[in-house]
Amino acid sequence: MSKIEKAIQERILVLDGAMGTMLQRNNFSEEDFRGERFKNFPHPLKGNNDLLSITQPEAVKAVHRAYFQAGADIVETNTFSGTTIGMADYHLEDLVYELNYQSAKIAREVADEFTDKPRFVAGSIGPTNRTASMSPDVNDPGFRAVTFDELRIAYKQQVEALIDGGSDVLLVETIFDTLNAKAALFAIEEVKEERNLDIPVMVSGTITDASGRTLSGQTVEAFLISISHIPLLSIGFNCALGADQLKPYLKRLAHNTQLNISAHPNAGLPNAFGQYDQTPEEMQALIREYLQDNLINIIGGCCGTTPEHIKLIAEVAKEFKPRPNHLQGFHNLVGVK
- 80 and 126 in contact (C-beta within 8 Å)? yes
d(CA 113, CA 154): 32
Say whether 188 counts as a known binding-site residue. no
Task: Give me the helices (H) in 74-177, please.
Answer: 84-87, 96-111, 148-164
CA 274 to chain centre: 21
Say whether 89 counts as a known binding-site residue. no
- 218 and 227 in contact (C-beta within 8 Å)? no
Helix (H, G, I), strand (E, B) or coil at 175: strand
At how many degrees (to 10) do helices 280-292 and 307-317 cross? Answer: 30
Residue 290: closest CA among 254, 325, 256: 254
Helix (H, G, I), strand (E, B) or coil at 48: coil
d(CA 297, CA 323): 6
Say whether 303 counts as a known binding-site residue. yes
List phi, psi (to 5°) of 219: -75, 170
For 209, other C-beta atoms within 10 Å of its C-beta total 11
Sign of CA dihedral 22, 120, 69, 285: positive
Helix (H, G, I), strand (E, B) or coil at 309: helix
Residue 48: closest CA among 78, 18, 16: 78
Instruction: Please enumerate, by residue number, every residue annotated as part of a binding site for Zn(2+).
Output: 239, 302-303
Instruction: Please enumerate, by residue number, every residue annotated as part of a binding site.
Output: 239, 302-303
